[in-house]
Amino acid sequence: MFNNIFDSHAHYDSEAFNDDRKELVSALPERGVCGIINCASDMASALTSLEIADEFDFVYAACGVHPHEADKCKSGYLPVLKKLCMEEKCVAVGEIGLDYHYDFSPRDIQKKVFEQQIVLAKELDLPIIVHDREAHEDTMTLLKRYKPKGVVHCFSGSPEMAKEVVKLGMYIGLGGAVTFRNARKPREVAGIVPDEFLLIETDCPYMTPVPFRGQRCDSSFIPYTAEVIAEVRGTTAQSILDLTRKNANTLFGLEL
Ligand code: NI
């Protein structure tokens, strides 16, 4: 039985949890989970994330607009988002970033909305939770320009890029992807991130680790991811959980 599981990136507001959200989340501490950051993707899910955070002591929220939704942002969204980010249980601006794989929003709009939210996070002294899919170059340009606190979640870049992110003082979030059979690059990254910059996450209900790939994911699946990271780093899964718990508490200013 593992403990000290701090899931730094989850989406319990997803409709995948509509039938059993309360039972599932309230049972997670018995399964070793000590903390969860529930990440929003738009204004509606920011509100839901805050509601879930209000319901459970060990759940905190990140409020922000995901690149997929950037195009749908109303022009006056920033002051509304700012208010949500100032709520007591909001500890980060996220998830925000760039997604050039799906390109659901035009790239210039993605960049504008990402940049506006980095500026907001700096103003509020909050960390950001970054989504970067096939947009490494533009993501790094903005991170280098603003030097925000935060984490690049579900990190998919090269070990060289991971080193650059760490040099900026930002964290690397690793999830179920490291367990996938073809995950050579994420495992290489798992091997080189310094102890003090590693976070672990699910991105649930997505990214379920092997051997449960295809099932709905939740935070209790994290030990399967920790096992793979531990193997690469020559340590134990529990020590990866202990370490990532400490790091998440440091980044988000919590004591969970
Ligand atoms: Ni996510």
pLDDT, tens digit (0-9, with 9 covering 90-100), for 193-240:
999 999 999 999 999 999 999 999 999 999 999 999 999 999 999 999
**CA 11 to ligand 1 center in whole angstroms:** 7
Domain that holds residue 10: 5-252
- CATH value at residue 204: 3.20.20.140
Q: What is the pLDDT of residues 165-203, one digit of tens each?
A: 999 999 999 999 999 988 899 999 999 999 999 999 999
**CA 172 to ligand 1 center in whole angstroms:** 14
Residues 247-256 have a mean pLDDT of: 98
**CA 80 to ligand 1 center in whole angstroms:** 21
**CA 63 to ligand 1 center in whole angstroms:** 12
Q: Which residues, including other chains, have CB under 8 Å from residue 157's CB and lie 6 or more apart?
A: 132, 136, 165, 185, 189
Is pTM beyond 0.85 here? yes
**CA 203 to ligand 1 center in whole angstroms:** 5
pLDDT at 73: 86
The upper half-sphere exposure of residue 146, i.e. CA atoms within 13 Å in the direction of its Cβ, equals 22
**CA 194 to ligand 1 center in whole angstroms:** 23
**CA 9 to ligand 1 center in whole angstroms:** 6
Give me the residue label for tokens 């959980």: 241
What Rg, from alpha-carbon coordinates, does the chain have?
A: 17
162-178 as b/e, with b when 16 or more CB fall inside 10 Å?
A: beebbeeebbbbbbbbb
Total domains, the chain: 1
Q: What is the pLDDT of residues 72-130, one digit of tens each?
A: 888 899 999 999 999 999 999 999 999 999 999 999 999 999 999 999 999 999 999 99
CB 248 within 8 A of CB 197: no
**CA 145 to ligand 1 center in whole angstroms:** 24
**CA 153 to ligand 1 center in whole angstroms:** 8
